[in-house]
Structure 1
Amino acid sequence: MRRRVAALVLALGASVTLVACGTPQPPVNGRLPDPPASAPALTRVAARVDVVGPRGAMNQANREQALQATAAQGKAELLKRQVAAMAAFGDVDLYAGNDARLLVDGPATFAAMFAAIERSRQQIVLESYIIEDADVSQQLADLLLRRRAQGVEVAILYDAVGSLGTQDAYFERMRQGGIAVCAFNPVNPLKRARYHKITHRDHRKILVVDGEIGFTGGINISAVYSSGSSGFGGRASSFPPRGSARASGSDGKDKDEAPDKGWRDTMIQVRGPATKALHTLFREVWAQQRCEGTVAAIEPPPGPAPGRHLMRVIPSSPQDTQNRIYTLLIGSIRAAQRSVYLTMAYFAPGQDMVDALCEAAQRGVDVQLILPSRSDFAPVMHAGRAHYERLLKAGVRIHELQDAVLHAKTAVIDGVVSTVGSSNMDWRSFVHNNEVNAVVLGDDFGDAMTRMFERDRAVSEPIELRRWQDRGVWQRGKEFFSRMFEQWW
């Protein structure tokens, strides 16, 4: 992992020398829209969103029905207010009739992904920032080669910087076995145009099998996930909500280094119309990168809706005029009435986001953050800590996860907006990377997310304002320096 960090720092350093120095463009240009003053009528909400179900695009009546079914889970007024806040930033594309399930930590995630691959009949597409030449990756390669030999189409897209430590022989073996393999933005300038754009990285994690089952979230194909985190112990656990969603899985002291005590991360498994959105994103990037060969479009099998979850799939890239993941988060926080629970691996959020969190806490919203106590890239952690004192004074409760490296990027807001994805709350994710987050609306999935948050909080240490104000000069210096470069980390 340190080799990858060093390689990334070198690559970024080279990029800085090739481009004019300056502050990156903010993820949102212009004034943020005001949150809705009250929850609008359901008919008005339905008129401002697009909804796709198992049978295609829905008309107004069916959109109202889909929203009403989600609102009936509970907290209807909060749900309508939150959807209205999303619509204030532009188009809202929703997918109805999905089955969404939480996967907690690596063991549960790899088990579910490998099981889906084993059952594949037509096509497997995999996109990952890191594909590491380790035991789990070798098992994956063996499985993919076996499925390819049995006639299944397989395409793999990996980030050239994220996977810099992986030997070419690993990927070449799969190519020789008939698997289509493509590197995103190769580091070698002879292998790509527009070398100054090396800061543009593909940080997404997507697996789609047969267009039927999809996975996304924060987990790379890496050995660091082979054991579960301390809070979940690598064993299968469940948080069955009132609906069908499930989850399965496994001190303010300065602990910069990332010890081998497991990594805490989260993925989401999806069946239903939202899976097609993930598949489309893969095909778009494959075409943009001019990867060899084509990835065929594939329709999910006909039949009844796999579940009842209403979802969004939100991509982002540096080409966006505004970052849709950022607008989702800041809009939902600004509209929050009851609770904001964020679990974030890399937290260097910028002034607008800190303002939104503080203002929510000051108006009585229960705002709680679970952040890392140790990190594989300490500068971001210190940049985030530079905001602690203001957040704590505003009433935000901060907890630092102990005995595991936090890599999850999740949020549940008002119990009705849940997001699991690849995007961190930092400028690298918001401005420079390809990212994707899955959003599930409704109280049922929000209940599972809240209990997962509470489980993580139980193995975290609360940060108290008075004790934090007594931290040493060395710690304050690291925070000051790191925050200076917050928009570059």
Structure 2
Amino acid sequence: MHQTEAQLRLAGLALCLLVLVGCARTPKIVLREDPPGDALRENLAADAALFPRPVASGNRVTLLPDGMRTFEAMFAAMEQADDHINLEYYIFENVRVGGRSLEALLGQKLRSGVAVNIILDGYGSYRTDPAVLDRLRKAGARILVFRPLTPETMLEVTKANDRDHRKILVVDGRVGFVGGVNLARVYENHSDPRAAARGDFRHAYWSDIAARIEGPAVADLQRLFFATWSSQHGPVMERRSYFPKEAEVGSERVRVIGSGPGRDEAIYYGSFLEAVHIARRSIDLSTGFFVPTRQEVQELAQAARRGVAVRLVLPSPVYDREVRAAGRTDYGRLLGAGVRIWEVEGAVLHAKFATIDGAWTAIGSSNIDRRSVVYNDEVDAIVFGGKTAGAARAIIERNISWSREVTLGAWRHRDFRERANEFFASFWRFLM
């Protein structure tokens, strides 16, 4: 039976209890009080205040608005590889494009002398076919399982709940991919609104987004990959040209953010809150899991009250009911402040992206939930510029066209069962 990320997440609640997940605190982010100016200039100034290294300039960014187009672009990039392919994925399955499998493609590149290095999460990929991994190893691929599910690792109370939720592909150090799209076969599904309506996530259409990046920012994705490899004591790699000199190929500035547990602050979380805090015109946000922290609710509500057009596109009523119920406890405060909320119907929403004021756009693996803030290893690309912001806003508009708006009046008149579900789910939201 195929195991989706949503099902894995629910199954992990029991594990969370065993490892005292509630002990970690959500960090309080101190936000600046600088007056707003030009949106792009203001967001770049906020970025410079948060990070010691300058943002990478000279990049070309292409948004990929669904899973199959992401796979097609990934396969095309890997076909062109002549030095190395590095993959880091929460869910790693033998996906297919045009009848060709990922295993077949990687096997061909290994035979041609290309190095293949793979990181997969021990929990998210625990149903990955071991025969596929064995054949890739025999062909020469180096494979690292991030915190495998063994009795020894399960006894590491402070670490067993930390998961590698990232989705990264780097080809020859020149082309990178990042976003919400796992290497999962559910993205091969065709659109079938009835499947989503009946909760059949194995056959429903999955709505997601990824970004293809060329330029100097790819080196930052590569550094994150090698940092994980080193921290998990991966096998020795072949010497390759992992960090070629990268010329500027576009006009967009990109900040790659790797967040993870055990750090002084949640890096992406702080960047997102700062962008919301200084927003003056628009905030468009779509996320597959919405269980916001108190500070996120506060900042989104305050933005709406000061006149910012805040639009949230959130998952369908039937997708991951426990998580949805926990997140819905915040609808009243958000709707009351003027935030507009849509819930996607006829598809499983898994995307994680936001665009603010036509200047700041985030595409990555971080959901709007506590787990992405304090437990998971995540990766997000912040793109500064109007081109990517316009493309992201177009995807938001498309997702809204598939969705049903939740009004304050309808929310206030929801039935007793929904209220009860939200009440009980609120006790579990620290696990989500």
Give, in angstroms, the shift of residue 458 of structure 1: 1.5
Partner of 1:128: 89
Instruction: Name the amino acid aligned to 1:104.
Output: P
Give, in angstroms, the shift of residue 298 of structure 1: 3.0
CA distance change for structure 1 residues 254 and 405 in 2, over 3 Å: closer, same or farther? closer
**Structure 1, residues 3-32: CA drift from partner, whole Å, max 9, x if none?**
76555545542452344x744211x34x62
The answer to whether structure 1 residue 24 and structure 2 residue 14 are counterparts is no
In the alignment, the residues of structure 1 paired with residue 15 and residue 391 of structure 2 have an alpha-carbon distance, to the nearest angstrom, of 44
Q: Aligned pair count? A: 428
Instruction: Name the amino acid aligned to 2:212.
Output: Q
Contact 2:94-2:102 within 8 A present in 1 as well: no
In the alignment, the residues of structure 1 paired with residue 12 and residue 405 of structure 2 have an alpha-carbon distance, to the nearest angstrom, of 36
Counting only pairs closer than 5 Å after superposition, residues 392-471 of structure 1 correspond to structure 2 as 392-471=335-414
Give, in angstroms, the shift of residue 320 of structure 1: 1.5
Partner of 2:428: 485
- Please point out which of 235, 255, 266 is paired with 2:209: 266
Q: Secondary structure at the match of 1:480?
A: helix
CA distance change for structure 1 residues 299 and 162 in 2, over 3 Å: closer, same or farther? closer
Give, in angstroms, the shift of residue 440 of structure 1: 0.7
Contact 2:197-2:345 within 8 A present in 1 as well: no
Partner of 2:168: 206
In the alignment, the residues of structure 2 paired with residue 95 and residue 344 of structure 1 have an alpha-carbon distance, to the nearest angstrom, of 26
In the alignment, the residues of structure 2 paired with residue 187 and residue 138 of structure 1 have an alpha-carbon distance, to the nearest angstrom, of 30
Contact 2:216-2:247 within 8 A present in 1 as well: no
The answer to whether structure 1 residue 185 and structure 2 residue 147 are counterparts is yes
- Please point out which of 281, 293, 306 is paired with 2:224: 281
In the alignment, the residues of structure 2 paired with residue 290 and residue 375 of structure 1 have an alpha-carbon distance, to the nearest angstrom, of 40
Partner of 2:293: 350
Give, in angstroms, the shift of residue 276 of structure 1: 0.6
**Structure 1, residues 213-253: CA drift from partner, whole Å, max 9, x if none?**
0001000111110146589xxxxxxxxxxxxxxxxxxxxx9
In the alignment, the residues of structure 1 paired with residue 12 and residue 335 of structure 2 have an alpha-carbon distance, to the nearest angstrom, of 36
In the alignment, the residues of structure 2 paired with residue 79 and residue 107 of structure 1 have an alpha-carbon distance, to the nearest angstrom, of 32
The answer to whether structure 1 residue 100 and structure 2 residue 98 are counterparts is no
The answer to whether structure 1 residue 291 and structure 2 residue 252 are counterparts is no
Q: Secondary structure at the match of 2:101?
A: helix
Partner of 2:101: 139
In the alignment, the residues of structure 2 paired with residue 464 and residue 100 of structure 1 have an alpha-carbon distance, to the nearest angstrom, of 35
CA distance change for structure 1 residues 382 and 471 in 2, over 3 Å: closer, same or farther? same
Q: Secondary structure at the match of 1:322?
A: coil
Q: Secondary structure at the match of 1:142?
A: helix
- Please point out which of 75, 81, 86 is paired with 2:47: 86
In the alignment, the residues of structure 1 paired with residue 294 and residue 71 of structure 2 have an alpha-carbon distance, to the nearest angstrom, of 37
Unaligned runs of 5+ in 2: none
In the alignment, the residues of structure 2 paired with residue 280 and residue 449 of structure 1 have an alpha-carbon distance, to the nearest angstrom, of 26
Unaligned runs of 5+ in 1: 40-76, 232-252
The answer to whether structure 1 residue 319 and structure 2 residue 319 are counterparts is no
CA distance change for structure 1 residues 83 and 170 in 2, over 3 Å: closer, same or farther? same
Counting only pairs closer than 5 Å after superposition, residues 195-234 of structure 1 correspond to structure 2 as 196-227=158-189
Q: Secondary structure at the match of 1:130?
A: coil
CA distance change for structure 1 residues 445 and 269 in 2, over 3 Å: closer, same or farther? same
Give, in angstroms, the shift of residue 402 of structure 1: 1.4
Contact 1:36-1:84 within 8 A present in 2 as well: no
Contact 2:25-2:374 within 8 A present in 1 as well: yes
- Please point out which of 271, 290, 293 is paired with 1:328: 271
In the alignment, the residues of structure 2 paired with residue 435 and residue 339 of structure 1 have an alpha-carbon distance, to the nearest angstrom, of 25
Give, in angstroms, the shift of residue 379 of structure 1: 1.6
Contact 1:11-1:198 within 8 A present in 2 as well: no
In the alignment, the residues of structure 1 paired with residue 59 and residue 241 of structure 2 have an alpha-carbon distance, to the nearest angstrom, of 17
The answer to whether structure 1 residue 110 and structure 2 residue 71 are counterparts is yes
Contact 2:215-2:247 within 8 A present in 1 as well: no
Q: Secondary structure at the match of 2:119?
A: strand
CA distance change for structure 1 residues 259 and 119 in 2, over 3 Å: closer, same or farther? closer
Counting only pairs closer than 5 Å after superposition, residues 2-17 of structure 1 correspond to structure 2 as 2=3, 8-17=9-18
Q: Secondary structure at the match of 1:91?
A: coil
Instruction: Name the amino acid aligned to 1:155.
Output: N
CA distance change for structure 1 residues 17 and 141 in 2, over 3 Å: closer, same or farther? same
Instruction: Name the amino acid aligned to 2:367.
Output: N
Give, in angstroms, the shift of residue 196 of structure 1: 4.4
Moved more, 135-144 or 112-121: 135-144
Moved more, 286-295 or 270-279: 286-295
Partner of 2:118: 156
Partner of 1:370: 313
Give, in angstroms, the shift of residue 212 of structure 1: 0.7
Contact 2:3-2:127 within 8 A present in 1 as well: no
Instruction: Name the amino acid aligned to 2:78.
Output: I
In the alignment, the residues of structure 2 paired with residue 407 and residue 315 of structure 1 have an alpha-carbon distance, to the nearest angstrom, of 20
In the alignment, the residues of structure 1 paired with residue 251 and residue 405 of structure 2 have an alpha-carbon distance, to the nearest angstrom, of 36
CA distance change for structure 1 residues 181 and 164 in 2, over 3 Å: closer, same or farther? same
Q: Secondary structure at the match of 1:221?
A: coil
Instruction: Name the amino acid aligned to 1:156.
Output: I
Contact 1:33-1:88 within 8 A present in 2 as well: no
Q: Secondary structure at the match of 2:143?
A: strand
Instruction: Name the amino acid aligned to 1:199.
Output: N
Moved more, 402-411 or 77-86: 77-86
Give, in angstroms, the shift of residue 442 of structure 1: 1.1
In the alignment, the residues of structure 1 paired with residue 287 and residue 9 of structure 2 have an alpha-carbon distance, to the nearest angstrom, of 21
TM-score after normalising by structure 2? 0.92
Moved more, 372-381 or 187-196: 187-196
**Structure 1, residues 415-454: CA drift from partner, whole Å, max 9, x if none?**
1000100000101111110000011101122111111211
Q: Secondary structure at the match of 2:373?
A: helix
In the alignment, the residues of structure 1 paired with residue 391 and residue 190 of structure 2 have an alpha-carbon distance, to the nearest angstrom, of 19
Instruction: Name the amino acid aligned to 1:96.
Output: S
Q: Secondary structure at the match of 2:217?
A: helix
In the alignment, the residues of structure 2 paired with residue 263 and residue 317 of structure 1 have an alpha-carbon distance, to the nearest angstrom, of 26
Contact 1:200-1:318 within 8 A present in 2 as well: yes
Partner of 1:169: 131
In the alignment, the residues of structure 1 paired with residue 411 and residue 288 of structure 2 have an alpha-carbon distance, to the nearest angstrom, of 20
Q: Secondary structure at the match of 2:295?
A: helix
Contact 1:82-1:332 within 8 A present in 2 as well: yes
Instruction: Name the amino acid aligned to 2:128.
Output: T
Pairwise CA RMSD = 2.4
Contact 1:15-1:199 within 8 A present in 2 as well: yes
Give, in angstroms, the shift of residue 38 of structure 1: 3.3
Aligned-residue sequence identity (percent) comes to: 35
Partner of 1:45: none
Instruction: Name the amino acid aligned to 2:115.
Output: E
Give, in angstroms, the shift of residue 295 of structure 1: 5.9
Give, in angstroms, the shift of residue 467 of structure 1: 1.3
In the alignment, the residues of structure 2 paired with residue 198 and residue 319 of structure 1 have an alpha-carbon distance, to the nearest angstrom, of 13
Partner of 1:246: none
Instruction: Name the amino acid aligned to 1:16.
Output: L
